[in-house]
Amino acid sequence: MKKLNNLTHTFIFLALFSGLLLSCGTEEDLADESIQMTMSAMSVPVGSQITFTASSSIAGDITSDAVYFVNGQQIEGSSFIPTEVNETNEVYASYNGKNSSTSTFASTDVIPSQYTQKVLLEDYTGTWCGWCPRMNSIMHYLTDYSDKIIPIAIHTQGTPQDPWVYEYALDMASTANYGAGAAPAGKINRIHTLDQFQQQHPCPNTREVYYPQVDTYLNQSAPLGLAINSSLSGSSLSINVKVGFSTDVVPEARLVVVLVEDGLIHNQYNYFSGSGSNCDPEYNYSSMPHPIQGFTHNHVLLKSFTDIYGDIIPTNQISNGAVYTKPFNVTLPANVTNASNLSVVAFVLGNGNQIKTRGVINVQSAKVGTNQDFD
Q: Could you read off the pLDDT of 104-113 as tens digits, one per residue? A: 999 988 888 8
Q: What is the dihedral of CA 72, 73, 76, 78, to 10 degrees?
A: -10
pLDDT digits (tens, 9 = 90+) for 234-250: 999 999 999 999 999 99
Q: How many other C-beta atoms can be found within 10 angstroms of the C-beta atom of residue 374? A: 19
Amino acid in position 145: Y
The yes-or-no verdict on residue 290 having pLDDT over 60 is yes
Lowest average pLDDT, out of 86-100, 197-211, 264-278, 314-328, goes to 197-211
Contact 194, 187 (CB under 8 A): yes
Query: In whole angstroms, what is the distance from residue 309 CA to residue 177 CA?
Result: 9
Q: How far is CA 205 from the centre of its chain?
A: 37
pLDDT of residue 199: 66
Cα distance between residue 261 and residue 340, in whole Å: 9
Residue 316 scores a pLDDT above 60: yes
Tell me which residue of 90, 91, 108 sits closest to 43, measured CA to CA: 108
Provide the pLDDT confidence category of residue 277 given band limits of 50, 70 and 90. Answer: confident
345 pairs with which residues across the strands?
A: 258, 365
Q: What is the pLDDT of residues 327-349, one digit of tens each?
A: 999 999 999 999 999 999 999 99
Closest CA to 270 of 135, 361, 175: 135
Residue-wise pLDDT for 3-60, tens only, equals 445 544 544 444 444 444 444 445 555 568 899 999 998 888 899 999 999 999 999 9
Spatial distance between the Cα atoms of 348 and 312, rounded to a whole number of angstroms: 10
Q: Which residue has the higher pLDDT, 189 or 279?
A: 189
Summary mean pLDDT of the chain: 91
Amino acid residing at 28? E
Which residue would you say has higher pLDDT here, 25 or 226? 226
Mean pLDDT value across residues 72-85? 95
CA atoms within 13 A on the CB side of 356: 9
**Where is 283: in which H helix or E strand?**
none
pLDDT tens per residue, range 355-374: 999 999 999 999 999 999 99
Q: Is the pLDDT of residue 165 over 60?
A: yes
- 7-21, 150-164, 171-185, 291-305: least confident range: 7-21
Give the span between the Cα atoms of 304 and 260, in whole angstroms. Answer: 9
State the pLDDT confidence band at 256, using cuts at 50, 70 and 90. Answer: very high
d(CA 81, CA 98): 25
Structural domains of the chain, with CATH: 35-108 (2.60.40.10), 119-372 (2.60.40.10)
> Is 151:140 a contact under the CB 8 Å cutoff?
no
Cα distance between residue 177 and residue 175, in whole Å? 5
Instruction: Measure the CA–CA gap between 177 and 322, rounded to whole angstroms.
Output: 31
Q: For 134-200, give the secondary structure using H, E and C.
A: HHHHHHHHHHHHCCCEEEEEEECCCCCCCCCECCCHHHHHCCCCCCCCCCCEEEECCCEECCCCCCC
Q: What is the pTM (predicted TM-score) of this model?
A: 0.80
Nearest in space to 141 (alpha carbons), one of 130, 131, 128, 151: 151
